[in-house]
Amino acid sequence: MTDADDRRVRKAIQGVQFPADKETLVAYAQERDADPRTLRALRALPERDYGNGDEVARAVPQRPEQTSG
């Protein structure tokens, strides 16, 4: 994930109530009209609960566009 991807993901989930699972994060970003690349990155997250935005950013795969899901 690039620095720009990191910023996009953080912006898309800004304001979400933590802890949050992957499904919640994706739905929240969709409601905020996140761009397709950001949604792809969030959909590539491992299934688990995340405690904060830093955990989410660290968990996004380096190349989410190559991850199925």
The CA–CA distances, whole Å, from 60 to 15, 37, 47 equal 18, 12, 11
Bigger pLDDT: 10 or 3?
10
pLDDT tens for 39-61 read 999 999 999 999 999 999 999 98
The CA–CA distances, whole Å, from 54 to 32, 66, 69 equal 19, 22, 22
**pLDDT at residue number 28:** 98
pLDDT tens for 6-39 read 899 999 999 999 999 999 999 999 999 999 999 9
CA dihedral 25, 40, 46, 13 (to 10 degrees): -20
**pLDDT at residue number 67:** 46
